[in-house]
Amino acid sequence: MQAARLRSAGQMSAEEVERPRAGPGEVIVRVEAAGICGSDRHMFRGEYPTALPVTLGHEFCGIVEELGEGVFMLRPGDRVTADPNIACGHCAACRQGRVNLCANLEAIGVTRDGGFAEYVRVPQGQAIVLPRDLDPVLGAFSEPLACCLHGLDVAQIKPGDSVAVLGGGVIGLIMVQLARLAGARTVVLSTRQAPRRLLAERLGATHTVDPTEGDAVEAIRAISGGGVDVALECAGVPETFAQSLAAARKGGAAVLFGVMAQGRQVAVEPFDLLVREIRLEAAYLNPHTHGRAATMIASGQLDLLPLVSRTVGIESVPDELAGDPRQGDVKVMVRPAG
């Protein structure tokens, strides 16, 4: 089968590899759609640790085709999404229920072969059944949505809150919708590309800001009357991290969601955080939220198809990851041929 494999930082190719077989408790899923995520680019560049070589692709949806011994939760023909993050269940963090902080965490598409391939091996406990008639492209949004739901849980947005979202990629555009669903009265998105700002306004942002047109923090403060209750950092760059801290009102929260390259340092002013009592939080991965995400997608609560800019084949994945996102792209979907 064809698979897009990362061999070392910056070295990736679409190759013919052996089709995986289901071991005990596992299923083989025929991939129908897999999303390219900002984190895949971090992995391609060596900025986020992976096993090597590995087939990337951790956001996917497909059809169960083969059952391993002892599989009782799934049937051939089920359309599934997979929670890619596999916790050990034994370490101290797992025992506290904090599975995203597992000391032995493995992940499909990161440390195990993933969904930029025709077939992928999935432990049955990681698969979540979706409706048979659901568009698989929507199913492939389950993973990013699950991560955003954790971000929302950490942020504790309350009805009537004001929220700033910094970075209008797919994550930021999902966060805008979730913040409105959580009851935020004001949702400001700051992102540089105009089409994304327009899309965000269609999806529920009450205001948008172009950070190249002036001081984004001043603009957010002016809109929100002095600072937002919650600022969500969704770009993964030092500038937006600093903006999230500054845009939060006194007593407000800044949530770090974007992935900055491992080892990257940024300056903060502890005095300022102290005297404004900023609640600085981080939200990582999707602990116990993948099922909720699948349910939301099946119920059509979110508008996700407008986020899909282009569909490509597996052979295009290396070039897609080698470059920066194309101007205008939000989510690029990979759909294996056949």
- Compare residues 64 and 163 and give the one whose CB is closer to ligand NAP: 163
Work out how close the CB of 131 gets to ligand NAP at its nearest, in angstroms, rounded to a whole number: 24
**What b/e string do you get for 223-255 counting C-beta neighbours within 10 Å, with b at 16 or more?**
bbeebbbbbbbbbbbeebbbbbbbbbbeebbbb
Residue among 29, 171, 230, 314 that touches ligand NAP (CB under 6 A): 171
Does residue 190 belong to the site contacting ligand NAP (CB under 6 A)?
yes
- Compare residues 71 and 253 and give the one whose CB is closer to ligand NAP: 253
Residue among 20, 38, 252, 336 that touches ligand NAP (CB under 6 A): 38
Give residues 64-123 in contact with ligand NAP (rule: CB under 6 A): none
Does residue 325 belong to the site contacting ligand NAP (CB under 6 A)?
yes
Work out how close the CB of 118 gets to ligand NAP at its nearest, in angstroms, rounded to a whole number: 24
Q: Which alpha helices (DSSP H) does the chain contain, by range? A: 38-44, 92-95, 136-139, 142-155, 170-181, 194-203, 216-224, 238-247, 270-275, 290-299, 317-322
Does residue 57 belong to the site contacting ligand NAP (CB under 6 A)?
no
Outline where DSSP puts E strands in the chain. 2-8, 11-16, 26-35, 54-55, 60-67, 79-82, 85-86, 106-107, 119-123, 127-130, 162-166, 186-190, 207-209, 228-233, 248-256, 279-282, 308-312, 331-334
Does residue 43 belong to the site contacting ligand NAP (CB under 6 A)?
no
Residue among 2, 39, 126, 206 that touches ligand NAP (CB under 6 A): 39
User: With CB under 6 A as the contact rule, which of the stretches 64-72, 170-178, 200-208, 305-313 interacts with ligand NAP?
Assistant: 170-178
Residue 99 to residue 141: CA distance in whole angstroms = 21
Residue 106 to residue 114: CA distance in whole angstroms = 12
CA distances (Å), origin 186, targets 142, 207, 324: 26, 8, 31
Residue nearest to ligand NAP (CB): 169
- What spatial distance separates the first Cα and last Cα of the chain, rounded to whole Å? 11
Residue among 234, 314, 317, 321 that touches ligand NAP (CB under 6 A): 234
- Compare residues 7 and 264 and give the one whose CB is closer to ligand NAP: 264
Residue among 42, 58, 112, 180 that touches ligand NAP (CB under 6 A): 42
The total of other beta-carbon atoms located within 10 Å of residue 63's CB is 16
Work out how close the CB of 291 gets to ligand NAP at its nearest, in angstroms, rounded to a whole number: 16
Does residue 211 belong to the site contacting ligand NAP (CB under 6 A)?
yes
Residue 153 to residue 299: CA distance in whole angstroms = 20
Closest CA to 163 of 287, 249, 42: 249
Does residue 125 belong to the site contacting ligand NAP (CB under 6 A)?
no
Work out how close the CB of 235 gets to ligand NAP at its nearest, in angstroms, rounded to a whole number: 3
Does residue 245 belong to the site contacting ligand NAP (CB under 6 A)?
no
Interface ranges with ligand NAP (CB under 6 A): 37-39, 42, 144, 147, 166-172, 190-193, 196, 211, 234-237, 239-240, 257-259, 283-285, 325
